[in-house]
Structure 1
């Protein structure tokens, strides 16, 4: 008995290749969102067990000689709904976006709700006492200063005869 073979058009292959220029995890996240939307449209409402796992917001981490700078996208979230913790070299940001009350029937929703959690291990020791966080226009900015021992130190090079030596 022969099995049917699913054939795809060539343009699907080029779309797939272009899509993989992004993070493969982003592709998986998109697929999960599409599956959730399909389940919601057929079953209606929230499917039990889906959405209980914390999601991870988008973030940028940059480094200067003095500190690490983390920017996390949290649109529509107030600073009172976010918890920032630093323990050793790990920075953790967590919170919850609660579902807003609505009137009428919700036909489609792509906004994230529920628990979120972002964790990053920074490459070197940090000064936990000097961490500062600000929220502006839906972006949480966190400045994590490096510990004094990990900051680069400029060493001046002198000629052998300049410093009172031979």
Structure 2
């Protein structure tokens, strides 16, 4: 799995600050576990997509100031998290599982059947 570097911007879309979420990737015998930090992003604003062997993680945060309050300083009011990875053909993108808890998105990306280690029994005689 390698990080992809292409980005596309939709026309007539207001530009949000784009942040790269911190990501940890751990390889296991059966596949990979990828965790991405998306603090403040609600589940309904998280998008995980695979297209042409590119896994894209996106999340959007919009912080609202209560009506009775006025912001004197805001470094980020709205932001978009985005990160993309090119998946190896050794991975089965049709079986990716995703979950989110406490601002952390976790993906389990299994290895394809043909790429998983298998034990071969040795016959005697």
TM-score under structure 1 normalisation?
0.56
Task: Tell me the distance in 1 between the aligned counterparts of 2:121 and 2:32.
Answer: 26
Residue 114 of structure 2: aligned partner? 149
Instruction: Give the whole-Å Cα distance in 2 for the aligned partners of 1:100 and 1:74.
Output: 17
Q: Structure 1 residues 63, 124: CA separation in 2 closer, same or farther (over 3 Å shift)? A: farther
Aligned length: 109
Q: Check if 1:83 corresponds to 2:44.
A: no
TM-score normalised by length of structure 2: 0.72
Q: Over alpha carbons, which structure has the higher Rg?
A: 1
How many angstroms does 1:90 deviate by?
2.5
In terms of fraction of residues, the more helix-rich structure is 1
1:106 has 2:79 as partner: no
By percentage of residues, which structure has more strand? 2
Alignment match of 2:99 (pick from 130, 134, 145): 134
Deviant stretches of 4+, over 6 Å = none
The alignment partner of 1:129 has SS state of helix
